[in-house]
Amino acid sequence: MSTTATRPQPAPEAADRDSRASLAEWMLERRWPVALAAVLIVFSVWELYGRTLGLPEYILTPSAILASAAELTASGRLVELAASSLQRLVAGFVIGTASGVLLGLLSGVSRRFGDLLDGPVSLVYPIPKITFLPIIAIWLGFSDPARIIVIATACFFPAYLNAHAATRSVDQSLVWVAMNAGAGKLRTILQVVLPAALPRTVAGIRQALALAFIFMFATEAIGSGTGTDAGLGGELFAARTTGDYDVLWAALAAVAVLGGTADALFRWAAGKLTIGQELEAGRG
């Protein structure tokens, strides 16, 4: 006579706890659902408060902001404003970040070159970069080139400082192993130093990207022009003075969406670039 062993079945309460634990682990591993849930909760409370208790006329509910943004997008005005702002942002970000990373890596590899740059960088770094705009405007006016220079200057420093520190902090044992294996100085730099410095360098680029949006907005708000050339920042400040609060919030929402999308895309691309390495840019 044979007996069939039966595996004990988990109690319903235990299975329910395991299911909730698995869901929590899944959400923690994939942080975007948690972040999305937090944003939805904030917007829901904001919307509910506005509909039930009321808000001042200069504070719109999320649904009203969405409707205003949709109307401006359909008319094409929001797209034109965003395109004007992004042209300045991309130009300043590329110029400032590329020069910052290049000079930072060179100064980190070459002590003499680094000592040469340390003085000017230490002198200019503490100065609020927005103060350069009125000075530059004396020669160029409140024009796109002036704004691009300020954005590039703001992006330069986090890119430079992180690239510089990343190369200086590379584990020297890795360099010694490569050189003992017969690698020349150039090969050691290209195959050992630069890959080891990549995660922190990428973190500096991410910081520069955030500053590019901040200074895009700030430079457009100061001495802003008219029409679509004013950009999102100029339009927002103009709407503040005229009381067009729907336009104000729509422009602010556009800046937030563009900034969040750019940061998410950068983190995705950086994750692919630094796969297998600890990525400081992906934190937070």
Tens of pLDDT along the chain (284 residues) come to: 445 555 555 555 555 555 555 655 655 556 667 777 888 899 899 999 888 888 888 889 999 999 999 999 999 899 999 999 999 999 999 999 999 999 998 888 778 888 888 888 888 999 999 989 989 988 888 888 999 999 999 999 999 999 988 888 776 666 555 655 666 666 666 666 777 788 889 999 999 999 999 999 999 888 766 556 788 888 888 888 888 899 899 999 999 999 999 998 998 888 877 665 554 444 44
What pLDDT sits at residue 41?
92
What pLDDT sits at residue 209?
95
Task: Return the CATH superfamily for domain 62-282.
Answer: MetI-like (1.10.3720.10)
What pLDDT sits at residue 110?
79
What pLDDT sits at residue 71?
92
DSSP 224-262: --SGGGGHHHHHHHHHHHHT-HHHHHHHHHHHHHHHHHH
Q: Where are the domains of the chain?
A: 62-282
Query: pTM for the whole thing?
Result: 0.79
